[in-house]
Structure 1
Amino acid sequence: MAVHDGPDPMHAAAIDDAAQALLFAWDQAREQVTPRLSWPQLNALLAVERAEGVNLGGLAAELNMLLSSASRLCDRLVANGMVERVPGRADRREIALYLTPSSRALLAELRRIRRRALTETLERMSGAGRASLLRGLTEFAAASVETGKDAAAAARSA
């Protein structure tokens, strides 16, 4: 009898299908709060939020995009009043990126709407189902971080 250590490919397909409900909830919330904000722009705001003061190169790396693309994306966010550029403290030529008060409020509203939608769905689940989902998603998030670290290390050594 062979021991199977890896995930069943059918699990990945089932999770992919089930995740559509979660992605739909997130997209609905984004559409309510930020109808004129694209997914890349929202991802950039979230990246700046995670690493306040990040420079353009760091943002490009975080978003896995070319520096020129990140620069254009940042230009649009600055023009919309969502991000501000501040000269670096150590090197005035380097520009640090920060969220504006309006982008902070927008992200808080986005999370509030998203969490309300998730709560409504979670209320329809059993307690055991909610606990299993939380446990599984927590483990998935931790594994995803490790996968990202592995990918970054492979890219640096290539």
Structure 2
Amino acid sequence: MAEHHGPDGPDPMRAAAVDDAAPALLAAWDAARERMTPRLSWPQLNALLVIEREQGINLRGLAGQLKMILSSASRLCDRLVASGMVERVPGQADRREIALYLTPASRQLLERLRATRRELLAEVLERMTSAGRTALVRGLTEFAAAADPGAAAETARTA
């Protein structure tokens, strides 16, 4: 991956500032997850998010996205199926291949989770100055694009 630098090269102080701020964002995410999905672990929630993003993903693809071994992903998926969060469907091209889909219950749960997370973030944002909020949103938007250049290229191609 190409490394991007400012006019004077990489700035460790900027990276440290982002690193120092990250726990506040993660705390909001964790508080929302705990409020909405106390029964779901982080790996289970991450699995739901991958399946949401890549409808019909197979177990091997899920394991790769979650950076887990196949047997661990299989057990994780078994728990999500048993809890009614994920549905296994035979593949259309190869019926031996199993595709994973979210259930209506898990879609609702993810919608409520996002709403709760955004409420918690909005509370923090309201304590910031208007200029600070504007700069943060602009910076985070650019940060997200820089972190995933493939998504930025796809957005530019479809725009």
Whether the TM-score (by the shorter chain) exceeds 0.5 is: yes
Mapped to 1, the partners of 2:47 and 2:144 lie a distance apart of: 19
Distance apart, 1:127 and its partner CA: 1.6
Aligned runs of 1:87-102 on 2, under 5 Å? 87-102=90-105
Q: Matched residue pairs, number? A: 145
Mapped to 2, the partners of 1:136 and 1:69 lie a distance apart of: 36
Distance apart, 1:147 and its partner CA: 8.8
- 3-state SS in 2 of match to 1:62: helix
The letter of the residue matching 1:28 is A
**Which residue number in structure 2 is paired with residue 19 of structure 1?**
22
Distance apart, 1:40 and its partner CA: 0.5
Q: List runs of 5+ in structure 2 lacking aligned partners.
A: 1-6, 152-159
Of 2, 5, 21 in structure 1, the residue corresponding to residue 9 of structure 2 is 5
- 3-state SS in 1 of match to 2:148: helix
- 3-state SS in 1 of match to 2:136: helix
**Which residue number in structure 1 is paired with residue 75 of structure 2?**
72
Aligned runs of 1:53-64 on 2, under 5 Å? 53-64=56-67
Of 50, 57, 60 in structure 2, the residue corresponding to residue 47 of structure 1 is 50
Q: List runs of 5+ in structure 1 lacking aligned partners.
A: 149-158
Of 64, 71, 83 in structure 1, the residue corresponding to residue 86 of structure 2 is 83
4+ long deviations beyond 4 Å: none
Q: Would the alpha carbon gap of residues 147 and 89 (structure 1) be closer, same or farther in structure 2, given more than 3 Å must change? A: closer
**Alignment RMSD (CA, Å):** 1.6
